[in-house]
Amino acid sequence: IKIYADGAVLEDMLTAYQKGVVSGFTTNPSLMKKAGVTNYVAFAKEVLAAIPDLPISFEVFSDDFAIMQREAEEIASWGNNVYVKIPITNAFGDSSIPLIQELSKKGIKLNVTAIFTLEQVRATVDAFAPDTENIVSVFAGRIADTGVDPIPTMKAAAEICREKPGTELLWASSRELLNIFQAEASNCDIITCTPEILNKLSNVGKDLEQLSLETVQMFSKDSAALGFT
């Protein structure tokens, strides 16, 4: 499975890039807002100047399909490694499928985002033009946040994505390191991870007895400050 970095803090993105732990990047408007980005284009250009050779997804921000189309074409022109993120609907719930068809016909690399159902996966994959490269972002973590196991959905989504060569399934909104293994077992091509999850990659394969000891040592160290005599 390929691991991407999810976020819009430039420093975190560069750290992940320099460490060589990721093979791509995803951003979204909410992550940019959280990171304090105030100039979308300037931010994107800075990121792309530093990371010219790995896939990076940037999302359109309008809810008007004609404007979204113009934004998508501009974003695509920023670099060969850019995937244009199109939400599966606009904020009014109108389907983005006609826009996806239009952009895909032009050969624009798309990352269709905010997907939660297999019906949305099916419509998206069918909308991609042949011989194009695209990502389907299914929000497994947000599905799990409703108490529903996302794994059956991801496995079925992977089968649908296989039908259109060039389509990669991405496990989005990851919540914990375990999701990397779940995404791999579900035949996802990519999982995008927050810096917090990426930092836990060093835990993989750790001896559990040793981890138990380290946990007790943490309690011991912290109890020294509590004044219990």
Q: Which is nearer to ligand E4P, 173 or 186 (CB)?
A: 173
- Given the rule CB under 6 A, which residues bind ligand E4P? 6, 26, 28, 113, 137, 139, 141-142, 172-173, 192
* Residue 34 beta carbon to ligand E4P: minimum distance, rounded to whole angstroms: 9
What is the 8-class DSSP label of residue 49? H
Q: Which is nearer to ligand E4P, 30 or 223 (CB)?
A: 30
* Residue 113 beta carbon to ligand E4P: minimum distance, rounded to whole angstroms: 6
Q: Which residue from 103, 136, 106 is spatially nearest to 120, judged by alpha carbons?
A: 136
* Residue 216 beta carbon to ligand E4P: minimum distance, rounded to whole angstroms: 32
User: Is residue 112 within 8 Å of 100, Cβ to Cβ?
Assistant: yes
* Residue 45 beta carbon to ligand E4P: minimum distance, rounded to whole angstroms: 20
Query: Exactly one of 2, 34, 45, 85 is catalytic; which is it?
Result: 85
* Residue 158 beta carbon to ligand E4P: minimum distance, rounded to whole angstroms: 17
Give the whole-angstrom CA distance, residue 174 versus residue 3: 11
DSSP codes joined into one string, 61-105:
--SSHHHHHHHHHHHHTT-TTEEEEEESB-TT--B-HHHHHHHHH
- Amino acid residing at 152: P
Q: What is the CA radius of gyration of the chain?
A: 20
Q: Which is nearer to ligand E4P, 122 or 142 (CB)?
A: 142
User: Is residue 24 within 8 Å of 48, Cβ to Cβ?
Assistant: no
Q: What angle do CA 84, 135, 48 make, to 5 degrees?
A: 45
Neighbours of 209 (CB within 10 A): 8
Q: Which is nearer to ligand E4P, 142 or 200 (CB)?
A: 142
Strand 134-138 relative to strand 56-59, pairing:
unpaired
Tokens of 124: 């998206």
Q: Which is nearer to ligand E4P, 149 or 214 (CB)?
A: 149
Active site residue 85: yes
Tokens of 64: 């008007």
Burial of 95 (0-12, 13-18, 19+ CB in 10 A): middle
Q: What are the catalytic residues?
A: 85
